[in-house]
């Protein structure tokens, strides 16, 4: 008995020591800074530099730090440079596919600090949108990030940024810049302007968009619609688009929950590339066709989809690598809600029929694939078919659960899963809780079998 008591006391002491000095390698980022400099000539590109001051807070020396960087092909990455204590060192190979290793000549001892940095140029790839007079660095993969010291022992931890840190965007003096975080000043630096944006831990991934834009601001339905375009907008075009944007925003507010007062303003920024742009939090980046005197319905639909993504995909996002659908098509469904507007059931039925007709006109995938089995590595035909099927699935879910219950379920997930991912199982659980019905059969037939169910086709 006495031996057992000693074991219990020793285990408790060991656990207590673990709280004070955790096992395994680890570090804390005490200071972090991200810089992006937009360069126009001779070829448009962006120079990126990130620097960190880290403290070893583990129980053993650190032999290296790994930094996740953009993949070279997608982002046109070149001129990679890594530094330790201000001195350039040779970049090493990390175990991650897109990472670089900063090895230390002398291991970083416990409680010691070190300054490290990574820099490179971006341009010429699909992950960055650039022209001579404008650019977009979309939320996500363009910015480097430290990763936990995996491989240096179990229980490793680290890579969480400070509560607040700065992103600096340097752009030509005639550029306007919109970026993540809170702008807290700018200053002239020769022929450039340096914009400072304070980022917060847990916020959206860093992004920046800007260019030689003309600005038009219009109040509409209790919010301000801000247009950035290459050419000044005719007043009648601006008023029409402001009404359309505010009308769609009102639909999304009702369906997915009101955003904060700081996010009520809408930004519509002309895309800097002919290949199209990604939405950013609080704004859509449509092509120049949106600003024409007459806007085709397909262009309006694309715009509404982008605007919906600015509501949905930066709070909670699909698990793109493992289960991109059906949640990846939620913005398409939201755009349908905006298109239906106040048209009632007749407008809803018309849109459903249009989507089924579009699906039937698609080039059929080389094989039938159930929605939950589709991956982003599948062919465009397979993914496009799954996207349409997922879009129609949300209407079938409306029929089974009621639109109010579906929307309340989505709002619940947006609050609960903020900063994370959501899957079909999460959606089912949330909507079942709202409506009180078993939705298992509906989810199975729509998501684990290929094609549109015959019953749904017959209904519409």
Neighbours of 322 (CB within 10 A): 11
pTM: 0.87
Q: How far apart are CA 37 and CA 39, in angstroms?
A: 6
For residue 233, the 8-state DSSP code is P
Q: Parallel, antiparallel, or unpaired: how do β-strands 192-200 and 164-172 relate? A: antiparallel
φ, ψ of residue 58 to 5 degrees: the values are -90, -165
Domains of the chain: 27-164 (2.60.40), 214-312 (1.10.390.10), 327-459 (1.10.390.10)
- DSSP string across 292-324: SSS--HHHHHHHHHHHHHHHHTTTSEEBTTTB-
Q: How far apart are CA 209 and CA 95, in angstroms?
A: 32
- DSSP string across 429-449: HHHHHHH-S--HHHHHHHHSS
Tokens of 230: 């290459």
Can you give the pLDDT of all 460 residues of the chain as single tens digits?
Answer: 444 333 333 333 333 444 444 567 899 999 999 999 999 988 899 999 999 999 999 989 999 999 999 988 889 999 999 999 999 999 888 777 689 999 999 999 999 999 999 999 998 777 889 888 899 999 878 999 999 886 554 455 667 899 999 999 999 999 999 999 999 888 887 889 999 999 998 888 899 999 999 999 999 988 899 999 999 999 999 999 999 999 999 999 989 886 665 567 899 999 988 888 999 988 999 999 999 888 888 899 999 999 999 888 887 889 999 999 999 999 999 999 999 987 889 999 999 999 999 999 988 777 778 999 999 999 999 999 999 999 999 999 999 999 999 999 999 999 998 888 999 999 999 999 999 999 999 999 999 998 899 999 999 9
- DSSP string across 67-91: EE---HHHHT-EEEEEEETTEEEPP
> Across the chain, how many H-helices and E-strands are there?
11, 22
To which H or E segment does residue 101 belong? Answer: strand 99-108
Which residues, in sequence order, are CB contacts of 100 under 8 Å at separation 6+?
66, 67, 69, 80, 82, 91, 92, 93, 94, 118
Tell me what pLDDT residue 299 has: 92
Tokens of 172: 């030509």
Q: How far apart are CA 270 and CA 292, in angstroms?
A: 12
Tokens of 129: 């949108």
**3-state SS class at 426:** helix
Tell me what pLDDT residue 5 has: 39
Contact indicator for 310, 228 with CB cutoff of 8 Å: no
Cis amide leading into 42 (omega within 30): yes
Tell me what pLDDT residue 18 has: 40
Contact indicator for 185, 211 with CB cutoff of 8 Å: no
Tell me what pLDDT residue 303 has: 94
């Amino acid at each position: 008995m006495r031996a057992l008591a000693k074991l219990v006391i020793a285990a408790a002491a060991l656990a207590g020591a673990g709280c004070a000095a955790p096992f395994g390698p680890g570090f804390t980022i005490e200071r972090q800074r991200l810089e992006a400099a937009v360069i126009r000539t001779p070829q448009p590109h962006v120079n990126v530099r990130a620097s960190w001051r880290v403290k070893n807070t583990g129980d053993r020396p650190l032999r290296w730090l790994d930094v996740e960087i953009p993949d070279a092909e997608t982002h046109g990455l070149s001129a990679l440079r890594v530094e330790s204590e201000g001195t350039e060192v040779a970049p090493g190979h990390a175990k991650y596919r897109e990472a670089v290793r900063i090895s230390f000549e002398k291991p970083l001892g416990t409680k010691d600090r070190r300054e490290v940095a990574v820099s490179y140029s971006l341009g010429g790839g699909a992950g960055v949108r650039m022209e001579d007079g404008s650019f977009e660095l979309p939320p996500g993969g363009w910015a480097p990030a430290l990763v936990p010291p995996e491989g240096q022992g179990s229980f490793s931890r680290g890579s969480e940024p400070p509560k607040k840190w700065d992103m600096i965007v340097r752009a030509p003096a005639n550029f306007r810049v919109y970026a993540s975080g809170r702008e807290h000043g700018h200053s002239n630096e020769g022929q450039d302007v340096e914009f400072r944006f304070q980022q917060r831990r847990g916020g959206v991934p860093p992004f920046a968009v800007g260019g030689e834009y003309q600005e038009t601001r219009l109040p509409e339905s209790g919010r301000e619609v801000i247009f950035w375009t290459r050419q000044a907008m005719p007043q009648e075009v601006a008023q029409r688009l402001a009404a359309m944007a505010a009308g769609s925003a009102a639909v999304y507010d009702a369906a997915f929950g009101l955003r904060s007062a700081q996010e009520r303003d809408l930004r519509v920024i002309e895309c800097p590339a002919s290949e199209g742009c990604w939405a950013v939090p609080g704004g859509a980046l449509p092509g120049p066709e949106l600003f024409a005197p007459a806007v085709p319905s397909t262009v309006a639909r694309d715009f509404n989809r982008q605007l919906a993504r600015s509501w949905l995909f930066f709070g909670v996002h699909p698990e793109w690598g493992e289960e991109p659908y059906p949640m990846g098509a939620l913005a398409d469904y939201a755009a349908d809600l905006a298109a239906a507007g106040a048209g009632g059931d007749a407008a809803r039925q018309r849109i459903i029929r249009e989507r089924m007709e579009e699906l039937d006109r698609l080039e059929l995938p080389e094989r039938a694939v159930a929605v939950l089995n589709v991956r982003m590595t599948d062919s465009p035909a397979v993914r496009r078919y799954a996207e349409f099927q997922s879009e129609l699935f949300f209407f079938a879910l409306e029929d089974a659960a009621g639109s109010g219950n579906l929307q309340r379920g989505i709002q619940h997930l947006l609050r609960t899963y903020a900063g994370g991912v959501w899957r079909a199982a999460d959606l089912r659980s949330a909507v079942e809780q709202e409506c009180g019905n078993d939705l298992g059969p509906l989810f199975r037939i729509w998501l684990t079998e290929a094609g549109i169910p015959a019953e749904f086709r017959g209904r519409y």
